[in-house]
Amino acid sequence: MGLAPEGEFYYDKVIKPEEEEDDDESDSSEESDSEELMMHGKGNGKREIRMIEHYSSSHRILLVGEGDFSFSLSLAKAFSSARNIVSTSLDAHKDLEKKYNKGTWNVRELEEMGGLVLCGVDATKMSQHFFLSTQRFDRIIYNFPHVEYIERRCLRISKGREEDQETKRMITKSKLNKQLVKGFLTNAKVLLRKEEGEIHVTHKEGDPYNRWDLVKKAEKIGLALHESVPFCKHKYPGYDNKRGCGSHPDDPFPLGDCTTFKFRLAP
């Protein structure tokens, strides 16, 4: 199972063409059908376009930083197919079963529906990935980007030296997450289709998330905020947000108020 070739999409339900009234209208209808097929893929007739929130079965979708792949699976079930979906995770495939109760099962179901799952993909380097570097996507999604807190012991060296004082500073979550977001946006920009392609980042509102300067970082690398909308978990049936790290990686974390930021290439 895998992703359909560039420009091709697959659907499960055929929309029956409207009845033809005369030859002129028939010619017009055939031209219209041809244009729709060019826009939405190849096939032998009209195909139904399925939607869930901001996402369509006509979109080539890349999901980044998936936990147990339940969000990817929610989209696939809404589309009745995963052939337009590539799902990635930083976790190695062998770690999915250890960390998530349904991780391996969700991956298997995605693949059976025609999706492509890639493990061990670093969001900050994904534009260099051997396969992803050859692809372009309509939607690139990263839900709740977050890095595990890395604690570094301060080094006690001779006092008074500026460079020694610098080594004593703690690497905070905020700084690490800023680096993660910047790296993701930079790489996602490379993989984004130029015409109406969008990068979606969803994260929680309030402190410390508002200190990540998401919009400013996007603007500095040539992206523009198209819109921001509230994120509602219940609109994605089957989706389970996961901590992904620590002693209980399969546990959910409280969401509260969340926002999806949609970025496009700056004009």
CB 115 within 8 A of CB 72: yes
User: Which residue's structure tokens are 């359909």?
Assistant: 4
Across-strand partners of 228?
Answer: 261
Mean pLDDT of 89-97: 89
pLDDT at 148: 64
| Comparison of pLDDT for 216 and 147, the residue scoring more | 216
Among 42-51, 118-127, 211-220, which stretch is predicted with the lowest mean pLDDT?
A: 42-51
pLDDT at 20 over 70: no
Is 39 within the bounds of a domain? no
Is 86 within the bounds of a domain? yes
pLDDT at 64 over 70: yes
Tally of domains within the chain: 1
pLDDT at 3: 42
Q: How far apart are CA 248 and CA 10, in angstroms?
A: 38
Is 20 within the bounds of a domain? no
pLDDT at 42: 42
Using 50, 70 and 90 to split pLDDT, how confident is the model at 14?
A: very low
Query: 92 vs 76, 78, 104, 188, 267, CA distance in Å?
Result: 22, 27, 11, 21, 38
Question: One-letter amino acid identity for 234?
Answer: H
pLDDT at 215 over 90: yes
Structure tokens, 77: 């079930």
| Comparison of pLDDT for 255 and 9, the residue scoring more | 255
pLDDT at 46: 61
Strand order in the sheet with 258-265: 116-119, 85-89, 61-64, 139-143, 198-204, 258-265, 223-230
The domain that contains 226 carries what CATH number?
Answer: 3.40.50.150
pLDDT at 123 over 80: yes
Is 34 within the bounds of a domain? no
Is 85 within the bounds of a domain? yes
pLDDT at 128 over 50: yes
Is 131 within the bounds of a domain? yes
CB 93 within 8 A of CB 125: no
Residues 6+ apart with CB under 8 A from 11: 41, 43, 47, 48, 49, 50, 57, 80, 81
pLDDT at 103: 84
Q: Which domain holds residue 92?
A: 59-265
Is 18 within the bounds of a domain? no
pLDDT in tens, 135-181: 999 999 999 998 864 444 333 444 555 554 444 444 467 888 899 99
Q: What is the mean pLDDT of the chain?
A: 79
Mean pLDDT of 95-108: 89
pLDDT at 95: 87
Total residue length of the chain: 267
pLDDT in tens, 28-55: 444 333 223 323 344 455 678 999 999 9
